[in-house]
Amino acid sequence: MKKLVLIFISAAVVMIVLAINHSNAKQDKTLFVAIDGNDLNNGTKSKPYRTLKKAASEAKAGTTVFIRKGIYNEKLSVIHNGTKSKPVIFQAYKNEKVILSGKKIKSAEGGNTSIITIKNKNYITISGLTIQDLTTKRTDETVMGIYVTGSSSHITLENNHVKRIKTLAKDGNGHGIAIYGTGSMRDMKISGNTVEDLTLGASESLVLNGNINGFKIENNLVRRSNNIGIDLIGFEGTSNDKREDYVRNGVVKNNRIYEISSYGNPAYGKNYSAGGIYVDGGKNITIEKNTIYKNDIGIEATSEHAKKYADNIKILNNTIYNNFFTGISIGGYDKKRGGTKNSLISHNIIYRNDTKGLDGGQLLLQHDTQNNVIEKNILTAGSSRIFIANYFTSNKENKLTKNVFHKENGNHGIWIWKEKEYRSFPKFKTASKSDIKSSYLDPKYKNEDKYDFRLKKNSPAKNIVK
């Protein structure tokens, strides 16, 4: 009898669970938008809506909005929150070519204009869309392809194509993708996007700024823009909570970034100052396995604000070559800035940067660098012949170990350490207190001409940097 009771109870529990799941499944739905649709329709595949605005008004938690191919000359503003199990998704239908164009969007006086806006929303995904052609001539307007702001969290931006966002004002601002944590933000995922051909003024291609705790920026292509590629910013007054006004606890991985230069940008004139990846006051950030070339600066980590720092930045296993000013830069560009501390630069290939002969070398140590470890990197000098350029004496407790400096027949190397120039590697080792395994030798790459930086089997560098 007891067994029968247990069986009936178990069966009842299963039925209740199935009923709950069925009820939840009913809440999930799909909506469709098409350029030949009508907002009086019911939003099904056969009777789609016409506008993104209508779809957004109906897209509550658990809704996927499929957008059919075509050009949509309108903004998309996300209205409703998703949940962890029921996000709100806006997605191109079956990889169809969906373009959100800013050509007909009117300029806004004294504010922000964006094609896609997510403000104070949670669990939102934007996927597979092309966002393009938003231009302003106004100094007091910032134009953006995708803008996430407020206290938005658990946001995914994936496989989108952002291009031709432009400010034509001399002192203007524009972003391809901008995430501004004015409130507390968590869990930002930016993956598989292409961000290109931007005219940015004093702003950045892809930026996280303010109170953002936890992010991943992975597998993106960022190229051909006239200011910084990927920027992670703190201490600019973006956050309402000044104690939390910095980007932290994130990863920038497997991105390809090239042709990022501020030269000729009206905001910078003839300065080569744009980084492929720039940490400006961020903390606990890992930058790894990125390929970065033909930018002004490959990777830069510092703070532009006095007595503030880029702190615990790990720059690992990146390939950085043919950048105009320098490969990797840490520390403030003058004594009025902050600096870099407690960071690690390891296992990077830093190859023939400083192509414009600006004396930035392969690794640039600027103002206020403290307690950083530089180890197991392979550096090949460019035409300036400078490996390390350290023009400031505010270089404290930085440790150099097991680095390999590429020795080439007929070409001497130059190391600048605490304002003193060395053309003798042994003298530089002594001055910098490099460890005994730091070496000046030919690492023997497989094919330098094709930028194949794998080491040959007989490479003498293998045991040093392993």
The answer on 163 and 67 residing in a single domain is no
Task: Mark which of 66, 101, 136 sits at the end of a domain.
Answer: 101
The answer on 203 and 71 residing in a single domain is no
| Domain assignment of residue 117, yes or no | no
The answer on 421 and 279 residing in a single domain is yes
- For 374-385, how does the pLDDT look when each residue is reduced to its tens digit (9 = 90+)? 999 999 999 999
The answer on 164 and 306 residing in a single domain is yes
| Domain assignment of residue 8, yes or no | no
Which tokens belong to 185?
Answer: 């933000």
* Residue stretches of the chain with pLDDT short of 50: 1-27
DSSP state of 106: P
Phi, psi of 33 (to 5 degrees): -125, 140
| Domain assignment of residue 333, yes or no | yes
- Average pLDDT over the chain, rounded to an integer: 94
The answer on 226 and 353 residing in a single domain is yes
Between the CA of residue 418 and those of 116, 260, 261, 331, 392, what are the distances in Å?
A: 48, 29, 28, 13, 5
The answer on 166 and 216 residing in a single domain is yes
Quick one: pLDDT at residue 155? 98
pTM equals 0.93
Quick one: pLDDT at residue 18? 46
Q: Which residues contact 12 (CB under 8 A, 6 or more apart)?
A: none
The CATH number covering residue 45 comes to 3.30.1910
The answer on 255 and 332 residing in a single domain is yes
The answer on 142 and 87 residing in a single domain is no
- For 30-52, how does the pLDDT look when each residue is reduced to its tens digit (9 = 90+)? 999 999 999 999 999 999 999 99
| Domain assignment of residue 374, yes or no | yes
Which tokens belong to 7?
Answer: 């069986």
Quick one: pLDDT at residue 410? 87
How far is Cα 331 from Cα 318, in angstroms, rounded to an integer? 19
**Nearest to 391, CA basis, from 410, 419, 364, 372:** 419
| Domain assignment of residue 1, yes or no | no
How far is Cα 225 from Cα 4, in angstroms, rounded to an integer? 72
At 155, which helix (H) or strand (E)? strand 153-158
DSSP state of 456: P
Residue length of the chain = 466
Task: Mark which of 71, 101, 131 sits at the end of a domain.
Answer: 101
- H-only helix segments in 28-89: 52-58
Task: Mark which of 101, 133, 156 sits at the end of a domain.
Answer: 101
The answer on 313 and 187 residing in a single domain is yes
The answer on 165 and 31 residing in a single domain is no
State the total domains in the chain.
Answer: 2
| Domain assignment of residue 317, yes or no | yes
The CATH number covering residue 394 comes to 2.160.20
Cβ contact 430:312 at 8 Å: no
Quick one: pLDDT at residue 28? 84
The answer on 349 and 221 residing in a single domain is yes
Q: Provide the residue range defining the domain that includes 380.
A: 122-465
The answer on 233 and 146 residing in a single domain is yes
Is 436 exposed, middle or buried, given 0-12, 13-18 or 19+ CB atoms closer than 10 A?
Answer: exposed
| Domain assignment of residue 107, yes or no | no
| Domain assignment of residue 171, yes or no | yes
